[in-house]
Amino acid sequence: MKVKILRILLWHAVASWTWDAQDETCGICRMAFDGCCPDCKLPGDDCPLIWGACNHAFHLHCILKWVNSQTSQAHCPMCRREWQFKE
């Protein structure tokens, strides 16, 4: 139940974003793509970016944490479509 409420709040937060910076910052940690995720100290090959089938990009570590935190099917945090890694 708690998770559901959180998801609805998150959806509203995403839907109300008006700035067009989703190509430059990670939608999960909000750190720039030319930096690294909060779990890493140095940007670069150790903290790669990954794209989903919906064309949203995230730090690999961020989306892995996100996917693993979902109790059922994971959805893209940006557009709520079913999350699949782009081949």
Residues within window 19-58 making contact with Zn ion, judged by CB under 5 A: 26, 28-29, 37, 39-40, 47, 54, 56
The answer to whether 43 touches 36, Cβ cutoff 8 Å, is yes
| Number of neighbours of residue 61 by Cβ within 10 angstroms | 20
Beta bridge partners of 59: 49
Could you tell me if 61 and 51 are in contact, meaning their C-beta atoms sit under 8 angstroms apart? no
Q: Supply the minimum distance, in Å, between the C-beta of residue 78 and Zn ion.
A: 4
Q: CB 1 → Zn ion: shortest distance, Å?
A: 25
How many residues contact Zn ion, by CB under 5 A?
Answer: 15
User: Would you tell me which residues interact with Zn ion (CB under 5 A)?
Assistant: 26, 28-29, 37, 39-40, 47, 54, 56, 59, 61-62, 76, 78-79
